[in-house]
Structure 1
Amino acid sequence: MARLTELFLLLLVIFNPVVTDSLSEEIEVLVFLPQNNSYLFSHARVAPAIRYAQDRLKAEYPGFHFNIHFENSEPANRALFALADRSCGQKPDLIIGPVREYEAAGVVRLASHWKIPVISAGALATAFKNKGTEYSHLTRIAPSYVKMAETFTAMFEHFTWKSALLLIEDDMKERDCYFTMEGVYHLMDDYNVEFEIIHQEAPFKIEDIFKTNQDIEGKPALNLYTLNCKCIC
């Protein structure tokens, strides 16, 4: 948690140097968390940690007053609209969250345009690595899906594997599985990678998929990877 408090201050100084003259006053922090407790990063689970960090900051840096404002990040555009509405009065100095890709995309784009630093435990999709323009002020504190893809390529190099079949369960809503496997697919250009999309409304028959994809470039597919991507945190 000490790292989190230090990160708060570091981001403010780096990304918002105009605020350094008033750091002894009020610092507005806007936190986006879903109220839905089915998520591991819901308000009920994460807010206590945020409050703990706030207390530590108050004790260690008594001149800094971090005012925490919580907003519900659901549905997809609610976080973006909340940021826009709140900024009509006073823009936040720091944003924490959102975690999920669609919620994070709009918030981070607008925050980067306004030069507001954003800390997120999510936003792990490949597109968020673009720090040159629209995602310039995003700091992710968890490994991205590209990092997971690097693990896959290391395995392939070690075992001299050449081909893989990726199964993607795509709900066409949050698309967690799609974003998870996207990094793997794009990072493995040097390998023969095929993918199958599994739709929730269609029955899943593994035998048919094996039969259809049993021969890739004249050789049996060496590996079949499946990921349960429903619980991304």
Structure 2
Amino acid sequence: MARFIEPFLFFSVIFNPVLADSLTEEIDVLVFLPQNNSFLFSHARVAPAIRYAQDRLRAEYPGFHFNIHFENSDSANHAVFTLADRPCGQKPDLILGPVREYEAAGVVRLASHWKIPVISAGALATAFKNKETEYSHLTRVAPSYVKMAETFTAMFEHFTWKSALLLIEDDMRERDCYFTLEGVYHLMDDYNVEFEIIHEGVPFKVEDIFKTNQGTEVWTSARSCWKMKSAFP
């Protein structure tokens, strides 16, 4: 549970100078969490930790009131529409989440335009590294997929490998497997990297892939990448 608390407590570190000088005592925090419990970072699992962090902050900064508002982020557009529908005078001071890529993209773009800081334990895709424009106000508290790609590059240099095959199971909805290995593919321009897309519902014939890709030194599969990502809620 501690890793759920860290993003919220991280807020106190970032805004500590503001808390010391600001005249307002009301800090409006908008939290996007899915109601669907199939996600490790669902409302039922994460909200208690955020409430605990709220109590910790209240004890440390008794003069400030951190008002928490939870919103559902089950669908790709619900989160950004919720943020856009808020009147200008009710824009939040801070946004926590969303975690999933498609939900986070719209929210972070709008929040960056309004200069509202966003802290997320997700949004790990390569595109979110662009901090100069549309994702300028995003802070990610988990290692991005690019960091994983840097690990792969170090392994290739150490073992002098030159080629790899990426197996990507693409559900064409959340596309978590695609985003997981996207960073690896783009960061390894100096190597012979090919990819094979495994579509949902289509039989996966590993024997055929073996025959087609004989001689490839390293295989990397994102077939279980959602389990990997669930470790970073």
CA distance, structure 1, for counterparts of residue 6 and residue 181 of structure 2: 30
Which residue is equivalent to 2:11?
Answer: 8
CA distance, structure 2, for counterparts of residue 5 and residue 190 of structure 1: 39
CA distance, structure 2, for counterparts of residue 190 and residue 210 of structure 1: 24
Using a 3 Å threshold, how does the CA distance of structure 1 residues 147 and 78 change in structure 2: closer, same or farther? same
Are the aligned partners of 2:99 and 2:123 in contact in 1 as well (CA < 8 Å)?
Answer: yes
Which TM-score applies when normalising by structure 1? Answer: 0.91
CA distance, structure 2, for counterparts of residue 42 and residue 161 of structure 1: 40
CA distance, structure 2, for counterparts of residue 19 and residue 109 of structure 1: 28
Question: Percent identical across equivalent pairs?
Answer: 77
Are the aligned partners of 1:12 and 1:117 in contact in 2 as well (CA < 8 Å)?
Answer: no
Gaps spanning 5+ residues in structure 2: where?
none
Which residue is equivalent to 1:224?
Answer: 219
CA distance, structure 2, for counterparts of residue 192 and residue 4 of structure 1: 38
Are the aligned partners of 1:37 and 1:44 in contact in 2 as well (CA < 8 Å)?
Answer: yes
Are the aligned partners of 2:8 and 2:50 in contact in 1 as well (CA < 8 Å)?
Answer: no
CA offset at residue 89 of structure 1? 4.5
Using a 3 Å threshold, how does the CA distance of structure 1 residues 128 and 5 change in structure 2: closer, same or farther? closer
CA offset at residue 19 of structure 1? 10
Report runs of 4+ in structure 1 exceeding 4 Å deviation.
1-6, 17-20
Per-residue CA deviations over 1:153-203 (Å, capped at 9, x if unaligned) read 111111111100000000000000000000000011111001000001211
Using a 3 Å threshold, how does the CA distance of structure 1 residues 105 and 4 change in structure 2: closer, same or farther? closer
Using a 3 Å threshold, how does the CA distance of structure 1 residues 19 and 33 change in structure 2: closer, same or farther? farther
Using a 3 Å threshold, how does the CA distance of structure 1 residues 114 and 12 change in structure 2: closer, same or farther? farther
Are the aligned partners of 2:165 and 2:194 in contact in 1 as well (CA < 8 Å)?
Answer: yes
Q: Which amino acid aligns with 1:230?
A: W
Gaps spanning 5+ residues in structure 1: where?
215-219
CA distance, structure 2, for counterparts of residue 41 and residue 30 of structure 1: 16
CA offset at residue 210 of structure 1? 1.5
CA offset at residue 3 of structure 1? 5.5
- Give the stretch that moved more between structures: 169-178 or 193-202: 193-202
Q: Cα RMSD over matched residues?
A: 1.9
Are the aligned partners of 1:30 and 1:70 in contact in 2 as well (CA < 8 Å)?
Answer: yes
CA offset at residue 6 of structure 1? 4.9
Matched, 1:113 2:113: yes
Per-residue CA deviations over 1:70-113 (Å, capped at 9, x if unaligned) read 00011100000111112444100000000000000000000000
CA offset at residue 10 of structure 1? 4.0
Q: Which amino acid aligns with 2:194?
A: E
Paired residue total: 225
Which residue is equivalent to 1:26?
Answer: 26
Per-residue CA deviations over 1:26-78 (Å, capped at 9, x if unaligned) read 00000000000110100011001100110001111101110000000111000
Mapping for residues 6-85 of structure 1, pairs under 5 Å: 6-12=9-15, 20-23=21-24, 25-85=25-85
CA distance, structure 2, for counterparts of residue 181 and residue 167 of structure 1: 9
CA distance, structure 2, for counterparts of residue 5 and residue 126 of structure 1: 23
- Give the stretch that moved more between structures: 129-138 or 84-93: 84-93
- Give the stretch that moved more between structures: 111-120 or 199-208: 199-208
SS state of the match for residue 224, structure 1? Answer: strand
CA distance, structure 2, for counterparts of residue 20 and residue 97 of structure 1: 26
CA distance, structure 1, for counterparts of residue 219 and residue 9 of structure 2: 42
Are the aligned partners of 1:149 and 1:184 in contact in 2 as well (CA < 8 Å)?
Answer: yes
Are the aligned partners of 1:34 and 1:73 in contact in 2 as well (CA < 8 Å)?
Answer: yes
- Give the stretch that moved more between structures: 153-162 or 101-110: 153-162
Which TM-score applies when normalising by structure 2? Answer: 0.91
Mapping for residues 49-198 of structure 1, pairs under 5 Å: 49-198=49-198
